[in-house]
Structure 1
Amino acid sequence: MGICHKLFNLSRSSKAVSEITERSSNKRKPFLYKFRSCHTFVFWTAAVGLFTSTFVHSILFPLSPFIVARIRHIDDKNWTEHSKSSAITSNIELTSRDTGVLVALYAVGLLVGSPIFGWLGDKIKQRRLPMLLGTGASMAANILFMLSVTYPMLLIARFLQGVSNACVWTMCLCLIADNWPREELGSQMGKLVGFYPLGMMIGLPAGGLLYSELGYEAPFIASMILSGIDFVMRVVVIEGQNVGDETASINSEKTVKEEPPVKQPVTWLQLLKQKRLVVSLGLTVTVATVMSAFEPTLSMRLAQEWGFNAAGCSLIVLSYMIPSIIASAVCGKLCDKFGTKIVAIVSLFFATPSCILIGVPNKQTGSFWPLVPVLIMGGITIAGCQAPVFPEIAKVVDKENGNSTTCDGLARSYSLFNAAYGVGMCVGPLMAGYLFASIGFFWLCTILSVLFFLFIPFAYLYIGDSRQLICPNNGRGVPSSSKDEENQKIEQSNDFHDAASMYSQGSFPFLVKSISLAKIRGNKTNPSSL
């Protein structure tokens, strides 16, 4: 009797379990689940977010002086010159200083937001909340720009824009890394990176044209529309689980058996003791300083000398930005083929006269057209100066890991790079704003060219594997003299060297590579070191 009772209870338990299982399997999925969770929609959510953040940032490149000038006339109801050259030239000294501070606040926001959202991204598995916070910060910044009646309100808006981009860039990349297997990650990241220059190339002319033709609020309304679309996509997207998670326990067990004990993590002090890394970071500060110095001053120069309005300034700036974006990929390939030293030295050598020549054309010398080829040359050479930095950082990380297959210290090296770039972005506009007001644009360009010239001996002494000017690589990121080294080391160096060709205006593409490497090599790297 007891046995029958137990069998009856067991039968009831089994039936209850089967009913619960069936009920769970029949549970209704979210509305449009297949569409909202498919890879195509996830990718476009990340792509739209990246494009929007870049578009919003780039529209202010040529418009900042005009916006600062407008805020000083906010109480004058009859003032209608917000997009004309006279808006800047009426008090150009004050405009240049205030614009420099406004541009620098973006870099401060970027530096503050990067570690916060990086930490939050590690703590929260689902990316929706941080992404919505970042998009919300962008929308708040646009509203503040539209409603600003005082200069401090502009500063707060620009700071929020930096915080927003720090979040959006990081979380968009994490979203891709979470939803694709490692064998497809490289191609997906490559496609995503393309939306960065696309946002720049569309945002620059669109911002100027909207500002000039439709009024002060027009570019920010356009940004709000894009941010609204971005916000909706982030709300409805359903994030999938990492493809590699299913085999994580098996892989981790296998790793414990096959991998040797993890070595001591690479510290900040170890990295900063390397002169090669310090020089690379110094070159990053120099490039960021020069690039950001032109942001508040180039538009003022065009308005002062040739009477350009906001739309004209935006179009001229394209002649500097587009060649720089294209040259970054070419210079990355040249670093692989001929070595980093020769690329850095040649770029620094030609960047020196390029900076001086940017300051030469004026209304006394004639038309603005001679400025266009000079800006093209400046964009190309500045991109060439930055391209060697990424493989140089990779070599230092590789060396500190004892040339092993691990990449411990990669995140720290990126943090140092990001800090160096942020320092340059803070120093450049502040310095340029005050120098433009006190000594003029030509002498500002001369001082910037001296920075490049002074760096040439440091590039010769410390960049590259040796004092040899040309040190060709075998096409995969290792010097040709080392072709007999382990295949795994070659593969790792290849991953790092690819980052050089991904450079396009700022630190963002290196962040792409950092996340890609962390994802691909996650089972070989000590998680605590990142």
Structure 2
Amino acid sequence: MGKNTNNSDKMEKRRPFLLKFRSSNTYVLLTASVSSLSGAIVYSVAIPILPFVINSMKQGISPQDPSLIAAYKSNDADISLDTYSDTGIVLGIYAAASVIAGPIFGYLGDKSKHRRTPMLLGIAALFLTTILFLFATQYWMLILARILQGISDACVFTLALALVSDTFPRDVLGTQMAKVITFQAVGLTAGSPIGVLFDKFGYKSPFIFCIVLVGIDFFLRLFLIERRNSPKHWFETTTPTTTLKNKCENEHPQGDEESRVNSNRKQQNVPSSLAPSHQEDGTTHSSIVDCVQQPHDTNTEISNNNNVEDDNDKNNLTLRQRLFNPRIIVSLLIGLIASFSTTTLHPTLPIHLKNEWGYNATQIGLITLAFGIPPFFSMPLSGYLYDRFGPRILCSIVLLLSGIVQPCMGIPSSHGGGNIASLVVMVVCSSFTLDMALAPVSTEFSNCIDDLFNNYSNNKKQKNNTQKQEEDDEEEEEGYFGRGYGILHSAFCLGEFLGPLMGGYIFRSIGFYWLCITVGIILIVSSPFPFLFLGNKRFSFSSICHSQKSS
């Protein structure tokens, strides 16, 4: 007994400093949110000034020259078409790098013992990105900076969402996921107000601000402790649920005669008298009663085994077959369409505002703040509605509403048919509805991966008998979120890549109004698919009320 107590004390001493705080749900959520915010701000802060920076480089002028600020403030700055083309290349390189890097970092995050290691590599790439922007004097330096930024963003977004999925249970995952994506949406629209630093203090000031933010992000990730693969004895006193799970899984340790005797007694339904003999390891009386009562109903075990055998055929699918599940495909499709619809406005709305109302870069930046206000309300609302009602009706309705709003956004003009105030209202409504589609997609994708691959792992567990094999399967089950979110991130970035390209082409060919009409049609056509394919079961008329009640 004394020897066991000494071993327990040694294990207690190995617990990291501030373990409870550094592994808490609040700290995990804070780290994931700041990661999304910092990556998005570094991305967006450069967008308003990139055309002016590239134009000055073409003329042999340093970006730190005062003439760059004068051009930024001017209403009639002379920027060539080649400069806009080169700007599009810089933006597209970022998305292309993210599409490729997303699955790679997802795989590394799943295979590494802790997700913190690849996350720190991602923040290092983001730091190098900011340094390159800070001292860039040549066009190739901007290209390299955007490639590193795309790689970093793939790592940050993929592993941040995977970390949240590892930490929170499914019944609140929608709400928590919405908080992380809210920070990302806010960061994407924070570039314009942060760009005021460029106007007031020079070219370097926005990027110095970004370096400070990246430093905060780095230290938050550095001190993060993941429960995923940490020693279980660290959390025995702080997480009774984990302790109970470990005891239930290890009811029959080798050489433990008392455990075998107690197991026989539990099968005879005499739970309460056994509680005192198990309390020396810190397990509470109520936890033991729950552990005793749960696993030894013979009829239930036989029924569960029969159900597993019946499900083996339909669940015994390859990785390729699971990735082509309609639920996954539709989630990826919605993510692609939502990001595509949002980014079509990034290169076209500023030009539309300049052509119609003659606004300069500062005025355009203030108007684009309309994109940053709705996420504070739409993201938490969509997460709550997802947890309460599920994804089907929610995603279908918001896609349909967004499809109706988009054509209305093309109506206001300086020579009739509305004014700038009505355009801002339409931009707010468009951002609100599109953002409400993004949060449920991320949560639904997590739940879909959980359903498909948990079933896969559970089926494999039925064929294994040793504890070592069960632990290996548990690690494999926990390791799918990174790869799943890597694929989802690639879908988002593919939309971000296609949006500016196709949006710019349609805008030049047929104008801003018909661009809005085209995007609206795409959204309306895609709106039935969530209702038909998302959720745990496919659509049937008899399941409509049942799905809402069960949600």
TM-score class, shorter: 0.5 to 0.7
Asked whether 1:215 is paired with 2:288, we answer no
What's the counterpart of residue 44 of structure 2? 58
Equivalents in 1 of 2:190, 2:175: separation in Å? 23
| Residues 219 and 402 (structure 1), Cα distance of their counterparts in 2 relative to 1, 3 Å cut | closer
Within-5 A mapping of 1:275-294: 275-294=326-345
**Aligned-pair RMSD on alpha carbons?**
4.9
What's the counterpart of residue 156 of structure 1? 144
Asked whether 1:447 is paired with 2:518, we answer yes
What's the counterpart of residue 312 of structure 1? 363
What's the counterpart of residue 499 of structure 1? none
Q: Which letter does structure 1 place at the counterpart of 2:211?
A: M
Identity of aligned residues (%): 30
The number of residue pairs the alignment matches comes to: 456
| Residues 35 and 281 (structure 1), Cα distance of their counterparts in 2 relative to 1, 3 Å cut | closer
Within-5 A mapping of 1:239-258: 239=225, 245-246=232-233, 253=250
Q: Which letter does structure 2 place at the counterpart of 1:286?
A: I
Q: Which letter does structure 2 place at the counterpart of 1:471?
A: I
What's the counterpart of residue 84 of structure 1? 73
Q: Which letter does structure 2 place at the counterpart of 1:369?
A: A
Question: How big is the shift at 1:308?
Answer: 3.3
Secondary structure at the aligned position of 1:116 is classed as helix
Asked whether 1:326 is paired with 2:326, we answer no
Question: How big is the shift at 1:51?
Answer: 3.4
TM-score normalised by length of structure 2? 0.65
Equivalents in 2 of 1:418, 1:373: separation in Å? 29
Asked whether 1:358 is paired with 2:409, we answer yes
From 195, 208, 214, give the equivalent of 1:227.
214
From 491, 498, 504, give the equivalent of 1:427.
498
Question: How big is the shift at 1:68?
Answer: 4.2
Within-5 A mapping of 1:330-479: 330-334=381-385, 340-365=391-416, 367-386=419-438, 389=441, 393=445, 411=481, 414-456=485-527, 458=529, 465-466=538-539, 468=541, 471-472=544-545, 478-479=547-548
| Residues 272 and 72 (structure 1), Cα distance of their counterparts in 2 relative to 1, 3 Å cut | same
Q: Which moved more, 1:63-72 or 1:447-456?
A: 63-72
Q: Which letter does structure 2 place at the counterpart of 1:110?
A: S
Question: How big is the shift at 1:67?
Answer: 4.2
CA contact (8 A) 1:102 1:154 kept: yes
Equivalents in 1 of 2:252, 2:170: separation in Å? 19
Q: Which letter does structure 2 place at the counterpart of 1:113?
A: A
Q: Which letter does structure 2 place at the counterpart of 1:327?
A: S
Equivalents in 2 of 1:337, 1:306: separation in Å? 44
What's the counterpart of residue 264 of structure 2? none
CA contact (8 A) 2:165 2:173 kept: no
| Residues 416 and 136 (structure 1), Cα distance of their counterparts in 2 relative to 1, 3 Å cut | closer
TM-score normalised by length of structure 1? 0.68
Q: Which runs of 5+ in 2 are unaligned?
A: 234-242, 254-294, 296-300, 460-476
- Map Cα deviations across residues 323-370 of structure 1 (whole Å, 9 max, x no partner): 245223334544566664544444333323422232333333475222
| Residues 479 and 195 (structure 1), Cα distance of their counterparts in 2 relative to 1, 3 Å cut | closer
Q: Which moved more, 1:184-193 or 1:311-320?
A: 184-193
Q: Which runs of 5+ in 1 are unaligned?
A: 1-16, 484-493, 495-530
Secondary structure at the aligned position of 2:137 is classed as coil
| Residues 215 and 176 (structure 1), Cα distance of their counterparts in 2 relative to 1, 3 Å cut | same
CA contact (8 A) 2:177 2:443 kept: no
- Map Cα deviations across residues 141-188 of structure 1 (whole Å, 9 max, x no partner): 11222233333322221221121122234555677788x798999699
What's the counterpart of residue 272 of structure 2? none
Equivalents in 1 of 2:135, 2:123: separation in Å? 18
Question: How big is the shift at 1:127?
Answer: 5.3
Equivalents in 1 of 2:42, 2:358: separation in Å? 25
From 109, 115, 127, give the equivalent of 1:121.
109
Secondary structure at the aligned position of 1:322 is classed as coil
Question: How big is the shift at 1:321?
Answer: 3.3
